[in-house]
Amino acid sequence: MEKWIEECERSLCMSTNQRGGFDAYLAALAPKDCGGQCTAIWPAGALAYRCRTCQLTTSSAVCVSCFKAGGHEDHDWIQYRSTSGGCCDCGDPAAWRVEGCCPAHQPDRQVVPLEQLLRPEPRMLLEAVLEAALARLSECLDQCTGSQCSADRRRDALLLCRWLQRFASLGPVRRSMSDALRRALHEQQLQEEGQAIAGDLQRSLEFLRETTSVMQE
């Protein structure tokens, strides 16, 4: 899976003539004025912040960068070490007060469309890569539902999740990810419906054969 991800990253960078590597490619898709929710994800053991002045739920929290830029110095805040990981709520009006959001994630700031950041060909490539990654992740998860899931499959699923999270943290890319996921779910639904219809037809044919056999007797 690592090799496949590396090939995807190389292709994406080449599509935009990005010579600074994959990190630079992602940075170009996250302009500082893009707006939208932060959604930075931190693992267990990472530092994060809660602000009783700004949070709207007991579980709301923000990452270190958003906290430092959000003007919380005189607020009722705490720094804590996450025990199970979390996701930044900066920019989410359902979880964090607008006044406490950092300048980069103001909820009323419109997200820059991906069409303004990428030409058609690189954008189509990105959408194809996201769709392929989601399909591979779905395949890994399907094979990890039972007790016989291999360690390699678990590792592949984790790698894909972490890689896709990097895209999900970019406001302009989230729409493409949701579209790719919706298409994948639609195709899966069509496949399941097709299998159900095929099963009904098979049962109908068996019934007809049995009925014909009885009538001939």
DSSP 37: -
The domain in which residue 209 lies consists of 114-217
Query: Per the domain annotation, does 107 fall within a domain?
Result: no
Query: Per the domain annotation, does 133 fall within a domain?
Result: yes
Q: What would the pLDDT profile of 36-57 be if each residue is shown by its tens digit?
A: 778 788 888 899 999 999 999 9
Specify burial of residue 109 (Cβ count, 10 A radius: 0-12, 13-18, 19+).
Answer: middle
CA neighbor of 33 nearest in space, from 90, 87, 111 = 111
Band of pLDDT at residue 15, cut at 50, 70 and 90: very high
DSSP 165-205: HHHHT-HHHHHHHHHHHHHHHHHHHHHHHHHHHHHHHHHHH
Q: What would the pLDDT profile of 67-99 be if each residue is shown by its tens digit?
A: 999 999 999 999 999 988 888 999 888 899 999
Query: Per the domain annotation, does 4 fall within a domain?
Result: no
pTM above 0.85, yes or no: no
Instruction: Give residue 121's pLDDT.
Output: 93
Query: Per the domain annotation, does 16 fall within a domain?
Result: no
Band of pLDDT at residue 154, cut at 50, 70 and 90: confident
Query: Per the domain annotation, does 123 fall within a domain?
Result: yes
For the chain, the average pLDDT equals 80
Instruction: Give residue 146's pLDDT.
Output: 60
Query: Per the domain annotation, does 37 fall within a domain?
Result: no
Give Cα 209 distance to the centre of its chain.
49
Query: Per the domain annotation, does 103 fall within a domain?
Result: no
> What's the total number of domains in the chain?
1
Query: Per the domain annotation, does 147 fall within a domain?
Result: yes
